[in-house]
Amino acid sequence: MVGNTYEALPFYHSGTGREMCQWLTHIKLSRIIILTSIVLFIVPLFTHYYLSKVESDVPDRDMYRTFSTLEAFEDFTSMKASQLKMRIEEMFRIKISVSNELRDLSAKRQRLQSEVNSLTQKIDELKQELLHQQTDLDRLKISVEQAQVAQKEAVERNTPELAPPKRILINTLPIVLPSTNPRSCRMYNCFDHSRCALTSGFPVYLYDPDQFSVVSPGWDVDGFLKTTIKQTLGYNPHLTRNPAEACVYIVLIGEALSLHQKRNQRHNKALDIKKLQALPYWGGDGRNHILLNLARRDLSADSGNIFSNLDTGRAIVVQSTFYRNQFRDDFDLIVPPILGPPGGDVWQECAQMLPARRKYLLSFQGEMRTFMGTAMTYQIDDADIDLEKLIIDDNNIDAFIIQHLKDMSNGITLDKFFIQFECIPASMESKPVETLDWSLCGTDSSRRAILKESTFALILAPSNATLLTTSFMQARLYEALRAGSIPVILGGDQILLNYNEVVDWRRAVIFLPKARVTEMHFLLRAVPDNDLLTIRRQGRLIWERYMSTAQGVVDTTIAVIRDRLGIPPLPASQTPSPSVFNESFVPLKSDAIIAEPEAEESLGPLEPPYPSPAFKRNYTTLLIQNHEIWNDWMDPFNLYPQLPFDTVLPSDAKFLGSEVGFRPIGKGAGGAGKEFSESLGGNYPREQFTIVMLTYEREQVLINSLARLYGLPYLNKVLVVWNSPKPPVEDLKWPDIGVPIHVIKAPRNSLNNRFLPFDAIETEAVLSIDDDAHLRHDEIMFGFRVWREHRDRVVGFPGRFHAWDQNYHNAWNYNSNYSCELSMVLTGAAFIHKHYTYLYTHWLPQAIRDKVDEYMNCEDIAMNFLISHLTRKPPVKVTSRWTFRCPGCPVSLSEDDTHFQERHKCINFFSQVFGYMPLLNTQYRADSILFKTRIPHDKQKCFKFI
């Protein structure tokens, strides 16, 4: 075979050895090329074969093609170089073709994989949508059941809708009737109830004191009193200009114009009884008339009792001084003298409540002297001096009291006393008068300075036991309460104080019989600090509300008479809610919503708007909670739609006769998450809440926050308080969240607008929330459920506390750090009762609202102060959330150091206005029941993430 090969090569015989070497080298290279070609092309051919086998339906043909290709390789050794080159080029073309096919197949595979991923994602979305639809279906089923129950309750109840009582007024003047014995007068036999229907609103008519004067010639009503009473009554909502519809008629008597006139006319009565009985609506006996005798400057007993020995008929006498045989229980009325301004903010008049124990344990400034068996008492107001005579024997109690007080002040204890019995200049002349009473020493400012340093202030009851109360004693009470000194009335068992039928004075004053003067020191030392401050706080509340101003005295007088008749006050005024849009403009709607990531969790049924029942307790509140209204809540002047203190039914009542409105969990059987989400449960009937959101020129942030509220259960409506002077842009698209969004035009840019009692708020629960706060639906629902059990408190999410800075300023600091206790819950995300919006706007001292406007800050602190002051309870924090983050929002004011400095100042200023720090610390936080509790796999927790 080798020989044959050599024969086939003609240059073998004729060539040289070098050529032979070249030929052999050529042969080797050819073989290497052939082997390389085989390696390069056989592998792609096999690859092409397998790929073709996958896609081809005729595998035998592919095998035949493969065998043919392999057979072609068998002749590579016999090919010429040119043929071999062509074959190699062909193989390269085949390789390129195979590579292109491989790339196409890879691209096709990627497209198929992408389609598979897209379909898989679509399947997941459809599954999620199915869950959402199933959740919505379940909610709708629950909603249908709730609606059927509500319809059934409405049919069974069969009562008209509740609303403020409609006024029923009389339209005739009083007719003349025969007079009766005035000494036997009580409300049941001397008052004409036919003129005062329960729904009349208690209209009051005032005789113009300039037109209808009833004082004798030479006398005149104090000009200050006339002007002040007319002005203050003008602000009272009960005042009417129509005498035909009036329930009561007020006659202003007042006091003598000057003491000089009174001395010259000592035997001339100040009141002209004929003028009194000639009043146009007197009706012959003065029924339903109120004779208002308000003292201001002359506080002596004889001046304050101008009705002595006069026939006042069936008229109610209102004054500060009464003899015991003159006062008619539950008919006449004791009032304090007018010692304060006409009205306004009086917090600066009050002393601070702390420390609990002051420099002096007890103080007294007064005088009673005995000359040759005659006890002399001096009155130095307006340089007037009166001397009262009394024959004193060895057993006189007043002499014993004086001696014991002197001995007590010189005792061996470390307690300090300020007891002053000798304070009248010897040069002053004294004159005898008909009665005996104590006088005071010093000027108003000097007495106030002593009282502010006294823990207790001693007040002595009139020495003349025939006096039931005097203007002088009421004035001492006024001074003590104003200074924060707890009154101790020695002889308190023989006297009555102002508004005694409604004000619980035993919570603000210590009453002691005179016989217990020797036990007084022991008793005062036995009062602990917490009770001291409680009594002092109660006294300040009574003074501020009922005694501090002429407005308060007049309003309280009218309220007491109305309260006797069982007539509810007029409804509290609400703030109108004007829309920021004009009547012709229709805001654009947007379908864009921001779905909750945990939307598969059922949080409650979807219900139509359901307002809280209002004015259900117009008449029973006065019966059940009258004491609290006058002594705790301090607002008997207004009728509110609801109160956070309304009474609660026992648990079994919702199943036995009082089931209307209740939605017990599992219809009373209880249950875990599924049953829990279907009903509100708890101790109160079903209700909804209103969201109030304050905003200022952050349209997109606002819209995003509103969109997140879509599908929120138990939401009644959303009020957006538009604080900006610029209206919203016309092309702003408002999301459709399933409940009304009411955009209110604020009267001015003020953070106090957050707490205005808008008439558009129809629910008791109000969720106050910032426009950049991001709360999940489950968090909101949990907060709402917790608030239902703590309706009188702030219930919310971001907690803060007040901290004492003893290193630098000895003052309060506002602190937002993480802490194991808190004292405030910020109203940027908190539930409050609508009742507190009334109190914030109309009851809170104006100085606090002015400070909020000055800093454009601190309104949330002010609301916490108010509620803690009234309830003496701390707020309730829910969930672990401490603060909020708002991605995409501008830099918050709270990140500025100035913000915190202002809040430091606010918290100290507010404590000065209140007289103490009302905030209380708490270490309590509310989390969901079954939170972190291991429950069976077939049960659900109340909330999945709380």
Q: What is the largest CA-CA distance in the chain?
A: 180
Is 298 noted as a catalytic residue in this protein?
no
Q: Which amino acid is at 880?
A: S
How far, in Å, are 437, 545, 654, 763, 843 from residue 643 at the CA level? 45, 19, 21, 11, 15
Strands (E), 539-634: 588-590
Distance separating alpha carbons of residues 221 and 226, to the nearest angstrom: 7
The two tokens of residue 49 are 């074969």
Residue 78 tokens read as 């016999």
d(CA 919, CA 938): 44
Give the whole-angstrom CA distance, residue 595 versus residue 814: 36
Is omega for the bond preceding 355 within 30 degrees of 0, making it cis?
A: yes
Distance of CA 905 to the CA centre of its chain: 21
Q: Determine phi and psi for 80, rounding to 5 degrees.
A: -80, 165
Residue 853 in 3-state DSSP?
Answer: helix
Quick one: which of 421, 459, 462, 461 has its CA closest to 442?
A: 421
**Measured torsion, CA atoms of residues 582, 584, 585, 591, in degrees rounded to the nearest 10:** 130
Taking Cα atoms as reference points, which of 613, 660, 538 lies closest to residue 764? 613
Which residue among 124, 860, 897, 927 is the active-site one?
860
HSE of 130, CA atoms in CB hemisphere, 13 A: 6
**Is residue 487 within 8 Å of residue 536, measured between CB atoms?**
no
The dihedral formed by the CA atoms of 255, 257, 262 and 264, expressed in degrees to the nearest 10: -160
Helix/strand/coil for 792: coil
State the Cα–Cα distance between residues 773 and 776, nearest whole angstrom.
10
Instruction: Give CA–CA dist 452/455, Å, rounded.
Output: 8
Residues in the chain: 946
Please choose, from the candidates 437, 433, 445, 438, the residue with its C-alpha nearest in 3D space to the C-alpha of residue 420: 438
Backbone phi and psi for residue 322, each to the nearest 5 degrees, phi listed first: -140, 140
Of the candidates 354, 425, 351, 344, the one whose C-alpha atom is nearest the C-alpha of residue 385 is 425
Tell me the three-class secondary structure of 31-66, residue by residue: HHHHHHHHHHHHHHHHHHHHHHHHHCCCHHHHHHHH
Q: What are the residue numbers of the active site? A: 860
